[in-house]
Amino acid sequence: MDAHEQRLRREYELRFRETEEYRDAVWTILCSDFFSSYVDANAKVLDLGAGWGEFIRHIDAAHKFAMDLNPEAGVRVSDGVTFLHQDCSRKWEMESDTLDVIFTSNFLEHLPVKSALERTIAEAFRCLKPNGRIICLGPNIKCVPGAYWDFWDHHIPLTEMSLAELLKINGFIIDLSLGRFLPYSMSTGKTPPLFLVKLYLKLPFFWPLFGKQFLVIGRK
């Protein structure tokens, strides 16, 4: 493990360890009650910037892949998940027109420069099948302008509009663009009761009031 990978491992420990069980429970709900509607059970799915693998463990899909530069992510994902240990801004170790869905959560803003993000999106387009989806969740700089920079490795400020524009530049059709979807709670250490998480997903009129993360879905 090189110095950069060791640093990533330490960052993940600092951010995820204290709320590990809660995060896992929340992602169980997010996958079953919301994201499953965008992922067919027979799909080939990639979790881009998988972190500790909460999404890819809990989503129902026939073929699962996870990509992360932190080698520990490969240990965290469940059996049956193919782990791609690589820099996402370089050519992916995957054939073109392979994936049905690419999912990424709270990751794109961590890429070091915009050119790395552009190369990542281009690779996503290459590897998706025609009509394949990319689902992007992340903090909206318009909604958390100061708190956005509380994380040392937040480099690229993103909104739903800037990300949707980047996707369109790279050939995607935008199916959904929400500036306010989920709260920013887990990122700030807050752990609302799980029944409120389930209720929140069923009441979209609350999203513009409490949502601070965007949700952008593009289609190839």
| CATH assignment of the domain containing 214 | 3.40.50.150
Q: What is the identity of the amino acid at 43?
A: A
Task: Summarize the confidence of residues 204-218 as an average pLDDT.
Answer: 97
CA-to-CA distance for 187 and 148, rounded, in angstroms? Answer: 10
User: 185 pLDDT exceeds 80?
Assistant: no
Q: Percentage of residues in the chain with pLDDT exceeding 70?
A: 90
User: Among 74-78, 135-139, 201-205, which is the least confidently predicted range?
Assistant: 74-78
Provide the 10 A C-beta neighbour count for residue 124.
24
Residues in CB range of 41: below 8 A, 6 or more apart: 60, 61, 62
User: Among 20-34, 87-101, 127-141, which is the least confidently predicted range?
Assistant: 20-34
Domain that holds residue 37: 3-219
User: 156 pLDDT exceeds 80?
Assistant: yes
The number of distinct structural domains making up the chain is 1
Decide the pairing of beta strands 173-178 and 44-48. Answer: unpaired
CA-to-CA distance for 40 and 59, rounded, in angstroms? Answer: 10
